Amino acid sequence: MDVAASRGALRLLQAFFGLLVVFLYVPIGILALFSFNDGDASFPLSGLTTHWYRDVFENPLLVGALIRSAIVATVSSVIAVGLGVLASFALIRRRFLGKSAVSALLFSPLVIPYLVFGVSLLVVFSAVDRFLTDTFGMYIGLGLHAVVVGHVVVSLPYTMLTIMPLLERLSVSLDEAARDLGAGPWETWRRVTLPLLFPALVSAFLIAFTLSFDEYAIASFLAGTQPTWPVFLFASLRVPSQLPALIAVSTMILVVSIAMVVAAELGRRIAERRYGTTLGVAVPTQPETAGPVGFSA
């Protein structure tokens, strides 16, 4: 007897699961459909076209926004992964006073409403600018740097959540063996720890990148005169004639991001499986929980 569900209950659960998948994908599908529609974003459909996809690259404002978002996402994810590695090492490999407080602080950006965080940074940047103008007659201003600063803060906990589980399972004795064999700390890191951690770093980078590339609330307060892609998208939603082109871009981003995430996840699993059998994963691996998007226990 199956303990979890009777046959009838299983059918119901299956049906419910199916319905939910439909509910989740139909809206996205409909949107994608309109990106091929030769008319505005309303029914009835008026004919097949790909010209929205071609138009995209002729709109300099749109391309500019995409480039800005790519820059912000790249820079902020690199910083977040770097900081995430440092913090993860401290939390997993070290014992120190006030560890739980430090850990709480590092993870607290997970539970701050982005709206509140966005206006807080806006206030700080404005206050600092006011001070600088009054005393030195210069100012920093808002812009991409401000967005990067904010995005690093909110993606840092996600990078740690991705790196820490793998680090926890990497045996310290590997590092020690490398040291015993004469490797300095830098060489140990470069030739032993980093390669072993690499899959988690890639996952962490991708998660941070996706988060930053799509983030609107914080960016809307901090971007100033340099709109990132979501800020630009939101502002353009008021112009119905632009809608199909915007949907076309978004569909492309969607396809690319899903492909990236799936690739990263596959890569991570292959790497983990390989290391899991041949290299120092100390504890027998638990049944992999929540593998997708690189979050794992």
Partner 1 sequence: MATNEVPAQARWRRRERAQTAGLLSAPLLWLVFFFVVPVGFITAYSVGAISIFPTDAGVLSLADWRRFLSGDTIYTGLFWKSVRLSLTVSIAVVILAYPVGYYLALCVRKRKYVLLLAIIAPFLTSYLLRVLAWKVILGDKGVINSLLVTLNLRGADEPIQWLLYSQFTVMLVLAYVWIPFVALPIFVSLDNLDRSLLEAAGDLGAGRLRTFWRVTLPLSLPGVVAAFVFVFVPTIGEFVTPLLVGGTSGYLYGNAIQDAFTRGLDWQFGSVLAMFLLLVVTGLMMVFGRFVQVRSVAG
48-87 binders of partner 1 (CB under 8 A): 79, 82-84, 86-87
> What tokens does 45 get?
């459909």
Rounded CA gap, 86 and 152, in Å? 14
- Which residues within the stretch 226-255 sit at the binding site for partner 1 (CB under 8 A)? 230, 233-234, 237, 247, 250, 253-254
- Contact residues for 97 (Cβ-Cβ < 8 A; gap 6+): none
Question: Least distance to partner 1 from the beta carbon of 62, Å?
Answer: 14
| Torsion over CA: 115, 116, 119, 121 (sign) | negative
- Which residues within the stretch 156-215 sit at the binding site for partner 1 (CB under 8 A)? 156-158, 161-162, 164-165, 210, 214
295 binds partner 1 (CB under 8 A): yes
Q: Return the range that interacts with partner 1 (CB under 8 A); candidates 42-50, 137-145, 176-184, 275-283.
A: 42-50
Nearer to partner 1, 262 or 282 (CB): 262
285 binds partner 1 (CB under 8 A): no
Rounded CA gap, 91 and 124, in Å? 29
The answer to whether 268 touches 200, Cβ cutoff 8 Å, is: yes
Question: Least distance to partner 1 from the beta carbon of 2, Å?
Answer: 8
Among the listed residues 1, 48, 138, 283, the single contact to partner 1 using CB under 8 A: 1
What does the angle CA 204 – CA 62 – CA 52 come to, to the nearest 5 degrees?
105
133 binds partner 1 (CB under 8 A): no
Nearest alpha-carbon partner for 211 in 235, 228, 236: 228
Q: Return the range that interacts with partner 1 (CB under 8 A); candidates 7-15, 170-178, 191-199, 271-279.
A: 7-15
Q: Return the range that interacts with partner 1 (CB under 8 A); candidates 59-67, 170-178, 196-204, 256-264.
A: 256-264
Among the listed residues 5, 194, 270, 279, the single contact to partner 1 using CB under 8 A: 5
- Which residues within the stretch 103-122 sit at the binding site for partner 1 (CB under 8 A)? 105-117, 119-122
Among the listed residues 47, 48, 58, 94, the single contact to partner 1 using CB under 8 A: 94
For 2, half-sphere exposure in the C-beta direction (CA atoms, 13 angstrom radius) is: 7
Interface size with partner 1, residues (CB under 8 A):
98
Question: Least distance to partner 1 from the beta carbon of 267, Å?
Answer: 14
| Tokens 């992999």 found at | 288
- Contact residues for 35 (Cβ-Cβ < 8 A; gap 6+): 52, 53, 244, 247, 248, 250, 251
Rounded CA gap, 196 and 168, in Å? 12
130 binds partner 1 (CB under 8 A): yes
Instruction: Tell me phi and psi for residue 281, to 5 degrees.
Output: -85, 110
Question: Least distance to partner 1 from the beta carbon of 115, Å?
Answer: 4
266 binds partner 1 (CB under 8 A): no
